[in-house]
Chain A
Amino acid sequence: MNIQKTAAEETLGFMLPTRRVESFHYTDLRAMLRDLPAEASADGGDNGYTPLVDTHLVSFNDGKLSGEQVLPSGVIMTADAAKANSVDINDAIVAMNAVSAGDAVEFVISGDATKDKPLGLGHVSTQAARSGTYHKVTVKAGSEGHVIERHTSSGGVASLSTTVSELVLEEGAKAVWYIIQQENEAASRLARLNVTLEQDADLSIFVLNAGGKLVRQEIKVAVNGENANLAIRGVNLVGDNAHIDVTTVLEHNVPHTNAEELFRNVVAGDGHGIFQGQIKVAQPAQKTDAQMACNTLLLTDEGDFSAKPELEIFADDVICAHGATVTDIDDEHMFYLKARGIDEKTARALLIKAFVDEVVEEMEAGEVMEEALTGIIDSWLDENV
């Protein structure tokens, strides 16, 4: 193995994982990030970020806090928190984030101040440069937190943005967290969401990947409190030339917890999609109920999707199930729609949309958010299918 650091690694000060590192087998960062963009220059001006829906907005321009923040009394923000760091090769994204310029912001949510109007973390990359933002959100005991984390970039800009988010749900807290990625087709994005769930916590995560050139979204959840409940749902729309990797690690550490994971993916052109789903059930975590499903529609012969479920179970009284499917559009469904006069293109769009909209519906996001999400999906389908 070549142990000489690449120019990119000299800049970063650490080695990027190759495909020999199991968790990066399908996303060889060392090969893919040979040309590392320089750090973004300080700007922090108003970036004109347009929110998807009405939120208590905190926006970031190339990693720097931008504009003013007007937050309700139930949300306390601290602007210069410390970023996390790690020397574990599996945490390469965390390390990359630590050495990329960008703000670290901490929020503490109490009560239900974000219930009707969520906290919005809106990011724009405007430079072909590297940035790193860090968020920490704590939802206090018995409180409810709603967060929309969204990432966009100016047209054609080959940015490399990284984000590390930490989410802590205290006892009996409830949260809904959206990660909406709409980078342009030249932009790359590396992200990690670290979650800790305490007793009776209830978290629903929704991931929508609808853009980007190289994207890796990691979600790592430590289920540390009994009766905690977790749902992770997602839609990955993998366009031509895109490489989108979603890697999740769920650690069930205590008895009586539930987790449900569902991803629906659409691969167009010669896109590469990856889902790695690891579920670890520790010996004391009896009565864990963990379900994982990953279904892919592969629209072309050139595209591919790799799904890797991994179960590590040390408790003996658990229910764990996983399933992965990769299919093309069902010919019988196509024939039925065409036999009713619906042309091929419309019929395809109807069937693809049905396949992913089901996951959106399950979120029960409310009319406004649901329309916003299906709107993103519809315009992606228009452009890519």
Chain B
Amino acid sequence: MLEIKNLHVRIAEEETEILKGVNLTVAAGEVAAIMGPNGSGKSTLSYVLAGKDDYEVTEGDILFNGESILEMEPDERAASGVFLAFQYPMEIPGVPTMNFLKAAMNAQRKARDEAEYTTPEFIKTVKAAAGELNIDFNMLKRALNVGFSGGEKKRAEILQMQLLEPKLCVLDETDSGLDIDALKIVSDGVNRLRDPERAFLVITHYQRLLEHIVPDSVHVLYQGRIIESGDKSLALHLEENGYADVIARAA
């Protein structure tokens, strides 16, 4: 489903290269975890997948279902099924969450030549999904993410993911800032979406999240390259030993 080939990325208008030849393949139905120390390029990878224009791809390619997405705008990528759950979801004053959800859901349906939701259908769908994630429906009448707690913001991200039904879900440190109960709710939300037709790229610092969202593969990103890949036992190894020996092996 996702093939990242020799991906080199730098910050636009700067010389500093952040990703220095990332190779990664994630199959449909797979949950791949990306771990790595601070500054290794994890968030950059998630932004590049979503199409943020602060970054410049200088070499390599990203194939989604066999086709390059590098020339696609973020909204086109989203409509084709790429979803990024942000590490820091934006607060957008003045835009009620419900209006935003409706605009997003209908924009994607329109891009896929599907009929737009009617208002009653839309409200029913959102209410059901919000209930599963323990989100108070009244919260969704407020401006998007404005005044939401850290946990509420992350749950709102998962709500959007559930409603937009993407093919590739990129979760950028979705566990940061969550207490144990919120972590459970968010993980359950992700697990409900696991599907043979859907792939996940779970970016995290901690093994803790991977106890809840059990990955099929674990990859270590260090200094802009994947230096080691393995199964879920690699995450346990990192938790116990830190990154030092993996980095030493790669050197």
A interface residue numbers (CB < 8 A to B):
332-333, 335-344, 346-347, 350-351, 353-355, 357-358
Interface size on B, residues (CB 8 A): 29
User: Given known contacts A338-B75, A339-B77, what 12 new A-B pairs fall within 8 Å (CB)?
Assistant: A332-B90, A335-B50, A336-B90, A338-B74, A339-B83, A339-B84, A342-B75, A342-B103, A342-B107, A350-B95, A357-B94, A358-B94
- Count contacts between A and B, CB distance < 8 Å: 74
C-alpha spacing A353/B93, complex, angstroms: 11
C-alpha spacing A339/B81, complex, angstroms: 10
Given contacts A336-B92, A350-B95, contact A344 B107 (CB under 8 A): no
Give the distance to chain B from A263, nearest Cβ to Cβ, in Å. Answer: 15
Pull 25 A–B residue pairs with CB atoms less than 8 Å apart, ordered by A.
A333-B90, A333-B92, A335-B50, A335-B53, A335-B74, A336-B89, A336-B90, A337-B92, A337-B100, A338-B51, A339-B75, A339-B77, A339-B78, A339-B83, A340-B104, A340-B160, A341-B79, A341-B108, A342-B75, A342-B104, A346-B103, A350-B95, A354-B92, A354-B143, A358-B93
CB nearest to B99 among chain A residues = A350
| B111 contacts the other chain (CB 8 A) | yes
Give the distance to chain B from A338, nearest Cβ to Cβ, in Å. Answer: 4
B90 CB contacts on chain A under 8 angstroms: 332-333, 336
Q: Among A342, A344, A353, which residue has the most Cβ atoms of chain B within 10 A?
A: A342
B137 CB contacts on chain A under 8 angstroms: none
Out of A333, A341, A354, A357, name the residue touching B104 (CB < 8 Å): A341
C-alpha spacing A332/B89, complex, angstroms: 10
Q: Are B78 and A351 in contact (CB under 8 A)?
A: no
Main secondary structure of the interface of A (DSSP, over half): helix
Q: Among A333, A340, A353, A358, which residue has the most Cβ atoms of chain B within 10 A?
A: A340
| B52 contacts the other chain (CB 8 A) | yes
C-alpha spacing A346/B103, complex, angstroms: 8
Q: Are B93 and A335 in contact (CB under 8 A)?
A: no
Given contacts A339-B51, A339-B84, A357-B94, contact A350 B74 (CB under 8 A): no
| B73 contacts the other chain (CB 8 A) | yes
CB nearest to B143 among chain A residues = A354
Out of A338, A344, A350, A357, name the residue touching B100 (CB < 8 Å): A350
Give the distance to chain B from A237, nearest Cβ to Cβ, in Å. Answer: 16
A344 CB contacts on chain B under 8 angstroms: 73, 75
| B206 contacts the other chain (CB 8 A) | no
Given contacts A335-B52, A338-B73, contact A354 B93 (CB under 8 A): yes
| B164 contacts the other chain (CB 8 A) | yes
C-alpha spacing A355/B95, complex, angstroms: 8
CB nearest to B89 among chain A residues = A336
Q: What are the 9 closest A-B residue pairs judged by CB atoms, nearest first?
A: A354-B94, A341-B78, A341-B108, A340-B104, A338-B74, A336-B90, A338-B75, A354-B95, A358-B94
C-alpha spacing A354/B93, complex, angstroms: 7
Given contacts A336-B89, A346-B107, A350-B99, contact A355 B94 (CB under 8 A): yes
C-alpha spacing A332/B111, complex, angstroms: 22
B93 CB contacts on chain A under 8 angstroms: 354, 358
B243 CB contacts on chain A under 8 angstroms: none
B122 CB contacts on chain A under 8 angstroms: none
C-alpha spacing A342/B160, complex, angstroms: 13
B77 CB contacts on chain A under 8 angstroms: 339
B53 CB contacts on chain A under 8 angstroms: 335
C-alpha spacing A336/B146, complex, angstroms: 14
C-alpha spacing A358/B74, complex, angstroms: 27
A343 CB contacts on chain B under 8 angstroms: 75, 107, 111
C-alpha spacing A353/B53, complex, angstroms: 24
Given contacts A335-B74, A346-B103, A350-B99, contact A340 B164 (CB under 8 A): yes
Give the distance to chain A from B52, nearest Cβ to Cβ, in Å. Answer: 6
Give the distance to chain B from A374, nearest Cβ to Cβ, in Å. Answer: 12
CB nearest to B75 among chain A residues = A338
Q: Are A339 and B50 in contact (CB under 8 A)?
A: yes
A339 CB contacts on chain B under 8 angstroms: 50-52, 74-75, 77-78, 83-84, 86
C-alpha spacing A108/B73, complex, angstroms: 59
C-alpha spacing A346/B99, complex, angstroms: 12
Given contacts A335-B52, A350-B99, A350-B100, contact A341 B92 (CB under 8 A): no
Q: Are B103 and A350 in contact (CB under 8 A)?
A: yes
C-alpha spacing A354/B97, complex, angstroms: 12
C-alpha spacing A81/B84, complex, angstroms: 66
C-alpha spacing A306/B104, complex, angstroms: 35
CB nearest to B74 among chain A residues = A338
| B:110-149 near A, CB below 8 Å | 111, 143
Give the distance to chain B from A353, nearest Cβ to Cβ, in Å. Answer: 8
B50 CB contacts on chain A under 8 angstroms: 335, 339
CB nearest to A349 among chain B residues = B103
C-alpha spacing A358/B75, complex, angstroms: 26
Given contacts A336-B86, A350-B99, A350-B103, contact A341 B94 (CB under 8 A): no
C-alpha spacing A333/B74, complex, angstroms: 13
CB nearest to B160 among chain A residues = A340
C-alpha spacing A357/B90, complex, angstroms: 19
Give the distance to chain A from B246, nearest Cβ to Cβ, in Å. Answer: 31
C-alpha spacing A342/B50, complex, angstroms: 13
C-alpha spacing A347/B143, complex, angstroms: 15
A336 CB contacts on chain B under 8 angstroms: 86, 89-90, 92
CB nearest to B84 among chain A residues = A339
Give the distance to chain B from A361, nearest Cβ to Cβ, in Å. Answer: 8
C-alpha spacing A135/B86, complex, angstroms: 55
Give the distance to chain B from A332, nearest Cβ to Cβ, in Å. Answer: 6
Q: Among A332, A339, A347, which residue has the most Cβ atoms of chain B within 10 A?
A: A339
C-alpha spacing A149/B63, complex, angstroms: 59
